[in-house]
């Protein structure tokens, strides 16, 4: 696929034949290699102005290479990249990294340890008068919710979360068109990670900055971004709103990568799938007959009474909820066209008392199932 050359025509950018309204970053057919091995295989991606896209995938899937190509640290072998109304990479076109107006925040923040917070934030603003630089630093400290007196501290006098906020402030200081966040929260402990993530999300929204987050944390991607792109072996296999990608994954790999999944054999007649959990509605089924059906654990509830029954095998208590492993009754009892082998599923439930091994329980399913290809 090829994207339209935006140039200065003001035309609506496209990927292939489909328009992408208000796209701030547009990649079309981007390929890239490392040490003679092709890492990116024709990447198409559109990020709307002011939006946040999270790119997730296993180690070695090409996430960091994609970020480096967007930043201008590496040249793509083919395809086109446009930022705003300017093509920054394409046949005969190459805009170097320092002229792209892109901010980059790494896992460790990359602060200069010998410089104060103020000098870290103001790095690269030497062209501004001293008073203007001072005002800019103060405004950015306010934006990232750090006290102005932190300006004279050094990075080793800050917590990990505070260091990341300074790194965000430094990246925003030059008013970038696009912010790239490469695993920026992974070095923080759980509580600090969540608080810092929420703070950074608010900062980007306040600044109206378009951003791309690369992460291996699925829950982080789903909660932080308004678009999630799942990467596998150099391809973006699914891109969309977090709710859609989570609830309607395109295949089993995406389903299991984004969270726990219940995968069952089923028989589909029309828009109803029969399985060991009863009859499950399916929206827009792609095929009929024998299928693989996916549900999320939170869709299966323990109830006082229902036709579907199972026996608790074991449970793990996590405080707010328990993970409960349940052996269902024979699928052949539900539909003789299915295997008689009783499947085992794992669900989440708030009442640990119901998760006692050997207890027979009733179950019901809420919502729709997804047929995996």
Q: Mean of the per-residue pLDDT values for the chain?
A: 87
Question: Same CATH fold, 260-372 and 14-101+176-247?
Answer: no
- pLDDT over 90 (residue 7): no
What are 315-348's pLDDT values in tens digits? 888 888 888 999 998 766 667 788 778 899 999 8
Report d(CA 350, CA 269) in Å as an integer: 34
Q: Which two tokens stand for residue 130?
A: 């001293």
- Helix (H/G/I), strand (E/B), else coil: 23: strand
Contact call for residues 159 and 191 (beta carbons, < 8 A): no
What are 123-163's pLDDT values in tens digits? 888 888 989 989 989 988 988 888 999 999 999 999 888 88
Report d(CA 226, CA 212) in Å as an integer: 10
68-77, 101-110, 213-222: least confidently modelled range: 101-110
Contact call for residues 117 and 155 (beta carbons, < 8 A): yes
Question: Taking the domain 14-101+176-247, which CATH number applies?
Answer: 3.40.50.300
| pLDDT value at residue 51 | 93
- Helix (H/G/I), strand (E/B), else coil: 329: coil
| Whole-structure pTM value | 0.83
| pLDDT value at residue 354 | 75
* Alpha-helix runs per DSSP H in the chain: 63-71, 117-121, 130-143, 160-173, 190-207, 218-224, 242-247, 252-257, 331-334
Name 33's Cβ contacts closer than 8 Å, sequence gap at least 6.
39, 77
| pLDDT value at residue 160 | 84
Topology classification of domain 260-372: OB fold (Dihydrolipoamide Acetyltransferase, E2P) (2.40.50)
Mean pLDDT computed over 195-203: 82
- pLDDT over 80 (residue 18): no
| pLDDT value at residue 197 | 82
Residue with tokens 């083919």: 78
| pLDDT value at residue 317 | 84
- Of the chain, the percentage scoring pLDDT greater than 70 comes to 93
What are 227-236's pLDDT values in tens digits? 999 999 999 9
Mean pLDDT computed over 254-279: 93
- Sign of CA pseudo-dihedral 241, 244, 250, 253: positive
| pLDDT value at residue 230 | 96
Report d(CA 308, CA 28) in Å as an integer: 48
Q: What angle do CA 262, 267, 268 make, to 5 degrees?
A: 100
Would you give the distance in Å from CA 189 to the centre of its chain?
A: 19
Mean pLDDT computed over 251-260: 93
What are the boundaries of each domain within the chain? 14-101+176-247, 260-372
Residue with tokens 């109830």: 303
Report d(CA 281, CA 271) in Å as an integer: 6
8-22, 45-59, 259-273, 276-290: least confidently modelled range: 8-22
* Alpha-helix runs per DSSP H in 6-109: 63-71
What are 281-319's pLDDT values in tens digits? 998 899 999 999 999 999 999 999 999 999 999 988 888
Contact call for residues 210 and 25 (beta carbons, < 8 A): yes
Report d(CA 33, CA 137) in Å as an integer: 39
At residue 35 the predicted structure's pLDDT band, cuts being 50, 70 and 90, is confident
């Amino acid at each position: 696929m090829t994207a339209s050359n935006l140039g200065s025509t003001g035309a609506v950018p496209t990927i292939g034949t489909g328009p992408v309204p208000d796209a701030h970053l547009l990649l079309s057919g981007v390929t890239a290699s490392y040490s003679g091995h092709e890492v990116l295989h024709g990447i198409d991606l559109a990020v709307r102005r002011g939006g946040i896209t999270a790119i997730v995938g296993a180690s070695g899937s090409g996430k960091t290479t994609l970020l480096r190509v967007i930043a201008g640290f590496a040249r793509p072998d083919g395809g086109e990249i446009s930022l705003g109304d300017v093509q920054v990479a394409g046949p005969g076109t190459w805009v170097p990294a320092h002229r792209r107006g892109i901010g980059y925040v790494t896992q460790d923040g990359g602060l200069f340890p010998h410089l104060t917070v103020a000098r870290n934030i103001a790095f690269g603003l030497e062209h501004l008068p001293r008073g203007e630089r001072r005002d800019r630093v103060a405004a950015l400290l306010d934006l990232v919710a750090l006290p102005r007196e932190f300006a004279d501290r050094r990075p080793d006098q800050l917590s990990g979360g505070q260091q990341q906020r300074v790194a965000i402030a430094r990246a925003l200081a030059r008013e970038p068109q696009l912010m790239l966040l490469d695993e920026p929260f992974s070095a923080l402990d759980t509580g600090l990670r969540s608080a810092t993530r929420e703070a950074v999300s608010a900062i980007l929204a306040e600044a109206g900055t378009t951003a791309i987050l690369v992460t291996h944390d699925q829950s982080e991607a789903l909660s932080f971004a308004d678009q999630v792109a799942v990467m596998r072996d150099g391809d973006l296999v699914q891109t969309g709103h977090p709710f859609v990608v989570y609830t309607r994954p395109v295949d089993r790999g995406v389903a299991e990568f984004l969270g726990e999944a219940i995968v069952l054999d089923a028989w589909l007649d029309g828009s109803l799938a029969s399985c060991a959990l009863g009859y499950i509605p399916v929206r827009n089924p792609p095929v009929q007959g024998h299928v693989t059906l996916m549900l999320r654990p939170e869709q299966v509830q323990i109830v006082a009474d229902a036709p579907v029954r199972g026996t608790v095998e074991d449970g793990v208590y996590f405080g707010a909820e328990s993970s409960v492993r349940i052996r269902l009754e024979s699928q052949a009892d539900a539909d003789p066209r299915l295997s008689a082998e009783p499947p085992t599923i794992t669900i989440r439930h708030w009442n640990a008392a119901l998760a006692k091994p050997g207890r027979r329980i009733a179950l019901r399913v809420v919502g729709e199932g997804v047929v995996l290809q």
